[in-house]
Structure 1
Amino acid sequence: MNSIPSVNLKDFISNDPIRKQNFVNAIGKAYEDIGFVALKGHFLDDTLVNNLYDEVKNFFSLDTETKRKYEIPGIGGQRGYVSFGKESAKGKKEGDLKEFWHFGQYVEDDEKLKQEYPENVIVNELPEFNKIGKETYRMLEKTAKYVLRALALHLDLKETYFDEYIYNGNSILRPIHYPPITEEPKEAVRAAAHGDINLITLLMGAQGRGLQVQNHKGEWLDAIAEPDELMINVGDMLSRHTNNRLKSTIHRVINPPKELWGTSRYSIPFFMHPISDMKLDVLESCIDDNSPKAFDDITAGEFLNERLIELGLKKE
């Protein structure tokens, strides 16, 4: 596998059973081979995308003191602002060369989960920022639901298997700003090699060079999306749940060539998480003589907590 396959969600949601099955086959094969696809036919329209980028750039253009007042202590960076260099990849001590924001779930009908999740942080200086962030969150969540329905069919599960776990799930929308590089980085890169924690990640802003994916031979491939495509990859939770049948692929964001150091890069991943009670126990259908059970039983909440500690975002 030396390139990222492209699929179109309109095939899955068409009323044509052949197109639907072809989509299931294509995305299933891609996630078994390399763990990434480029997806067309999602639920984001161009106006919403352009408005979101405008608002994100407006936020990151605010002065440091203003941004820092939205950095909320004690919540492991799960909502609001996380300042430059705070997060590092698992096993790496250098902080990544980025700052970011977190929008979280908008729970309207479950008091228990309302108490469990931190509240979203309102940016007073930008009246449209939170409104457009919420609308984008909803459209990416809807897109992710259908991708997971296709994967459920690929795994011989009921099509709606994941629905109950992702409804009001602990998903995160993360606009990221990689500022211009002003001096030779010693060891740091914009985002060091890592696997994602969650079920699947939907990435906006993978146009142009920067994002790289590691294939099974250990080679790094450029993952460049068309303007109308989202990059969607498998996270560690789904890989674990499927006994590594679906691959959580290591990926990174490299520093640009020196002549482009003076430019910012923006990307906006949506990390699809389930509710914390979801059991990530290995699916029985993914265990056989050639693939014995590789992981202990754990819930999504326990797994997330472990990883936030490893990332330096949460103390033990």
Structure 2
Amino acid sequence: MSASRIPTIDLSLWRADRHSDRDQLATTVDQALQRSGFLLVTGHGIHPDLPDSLRTAARTFFHLPADAKEPFLGRTGGRGWSGAGAVAAGRAEGTETPPDLVETWTVGPNPTPNSNSNPSPSPSPSDTAAERLLPEAWPPQVPSLHSLVADYTRRMRVLADELLALLAAALGQPLDFFTRHTAHPDWTLTLNWYPPRQTIGAPKPGQFRVGPHTDFGTVTVLNRQSGKGGLQIHTEEGGWEDAPYDPEALTINIGDLMARWTGDRWRSGRHRVLPPPADATTEELTSLVYFYDCDPHTIIDSLPAPTGRVAYPPVTARAYVQSKVDKITLG
């Protein structure tokens, strides 16, 4: 895939706060999000030991027998474990696919004690409140999972807000244009485990590890592994192509809320994860996917022309995302 469509940007240049570097980064981001909705980001400050440790802990859980995972089946807003057959991501865009070949462990912020509708602030970098996370029950077989997830989500929250400031600059807006709406944001961390073909058998026709779709929120931060049955990105220029991979980079894409916010100046990045390959039957992959939205009652209004190109009807952030989640969730 052409680097002009999916460029790599060095976030450390943004942090250095030199006007010339920031202007160039903003231009690169604007052009890339118009073409594909995707970026690779280095200089993000996430030491590889943390995602590596989290991936190892997650895989230990996923390798447990089904009856050991069953007590952690997600029942509180989908937080917790879900097995194969729980979702079909392609249905969000109207593509009827068989269930996705993925198991997940899903985490989100715990609501405030006095409200069922407004989530509490996500933990700050100095906050040790791992108990703020849902689900409430965590597997004792993997005692490190809770603390690793808490640490990772704190760092992702900071990084996501930094990316939103960069995106605001790319639109010529004040740096807090988006982050003024992330005081108490909705977010989700999903640990995706793609089991090997030798375990689950051959996929059905049209079945993927994750079916073709766009994400639903503002930005998604993906820490992934390369593989034959890995991520593909769709663009008008190239169709479906393998996503570029750099072990030092995070893969960033924007979702539907951001595309609507920009009046379709930017594309909600369409992507899929290929089925487990026939020529690599032992390949298993684990992805760490951080979905960032915004404050749940934020009204998403399209930016007007000349920035925006389509004037979408206003939507409420959480209601929109939930409507998409409902489409992909299987009974």
The answer to whether TM tops 0.5 is yes
User: Between the two proteins, what is the percent identity of the paired residues?
Assistant: 24
Query: For the aligned residues, what is the CA RMSD?
Result: 2.4
* Paired position in structure 2 for 1:133: 149
Which of 245, 250, 256 pairs up with 1:236? 256
Which residue is 2:209 aligned to?
Answer: 190
The amino acid of 1:301's aligned partner reads R
Q: Of 295, 302, 314, which residue of structure 2 is paired with 1:297?
A: 314
- The one of 199, 212, 226 aligned to 2:232: 212
Q: Distance in 2 between matches of 1:165 and 1:36?
A: 22
CA distance in 1, matches of 2:291, 2:239: 25
The question of 1:283 aligning with 2:303 is answered yes
Consecutive unaligned residues of structure 1, counting only runs of 5 or more, are none
Between stretches 187-196 and 176-185, larger displacement belongs to 176-185
Give structure 1 regions of 4+ aligned residues with deviation exceeding 4 angstroms.
106-112, 114-118, 285-288
* CA shift for structure 1 position 82: 1.2
Distance 1:115 1:200 in 2: 20
Equivalent in the alignment of 2:170: 154
Q: 1:106 to 1:10 in 2, by over 3 A?
A: farther
Aligned residue pairs total 309
- Say whether the 8 Å CA contact 1:103–1:134 is kept in structure 2: no
Paired amino acid for 2:39: V
Q: Distance in 2 between matches of 1:109 and 1:142?
A: 24
Find 2:192's aligned residue among 156, 176, 184: 176
Q: Structure 1 residues 74 and 16 mapped into 2: Cα distance closer, same or farther (>3 Å)?
A: closer
1:113 pairs with one of 106, 115, 118: 118
1:152/1:109 Cα in 2 relative to 1: closer, same or farther (>3 Å)? farther
Q: Deviations over 1:265-304 (max 9, x none)?
A: 111111111121111111235566xx341x2111101101
Deviates more, 1:106-115 or 1:138-147: 106-115
Q: 1:16 to 1:108 in 2, by over 3 A?
A: farther
Residue ranges of structure 2 left out of the alignment (5+ in a row) = 122-131
Secondary structure of 1:221 counterpart: strand
- Distance in 2 separating the partners of 1:67 and 1:304: 27
1:93 Cα offset (Å): 4.2
Report the equivalent of 1:44.
46
- For the residues of structure 2 that align with 1:95 and 1:150, how far apart are their CA atoms? 36
SS at match of 2:241: strand
Q: TM-score, normalised by structure 2?
A: 0.86
Hey, what's the Cα distance between the residues in 2 that align with 1:298 and 1:305?
12
Matched with 2:80 is: 80
User: Residue 26 and residue 115 in structure 1: after superposition, are their counterparts in 2 closer, same or farther (change >3 A)?
Assistant: closer
Number of the residue aligned with 2:59: 57
Structure 2 CA distance, aligned partners of 1:243 and 1:176? Answer: 31
Q: Quick one: distance in 2 between partners of 1:114 and 1:28?
A: 31
Tell me the TM-score normalised to structure 1 length: 0.90
Q: Does 1:274 align with 2:294?
A: yes
CA distance in 2, matches of 1:303, 1:221: 29
Contact 2:222/2:290 (8 A) holds in 1: yes
Q: Counterpart of 2:2?
A: 2
Shift of 1:22: 1.3
Q: Distance in 2 between matches of 1:94 and 1:139?
A: 35
How far apart are residue 254 of structure 1 and its match?
0.7
**Matched-pair contact (CA < 8 Å) for 1:201–1:269:** yes
1:167 positional shift:
2.9
Aligned to 1:18: 20
* Counterpart secondary structure, 2:299: coil
- CA distance in 1 between counterparts of 2:100 and 2:225 reads 18
Q: Deviations over 1:192-213 (max 9, x none)?
A: 1111011111110143441010
d(CA) in 1 for partners of 2:113 and 2:155? 19
Q: Which moved more, 1:184-193 or 1:239-248?
A: 184-193
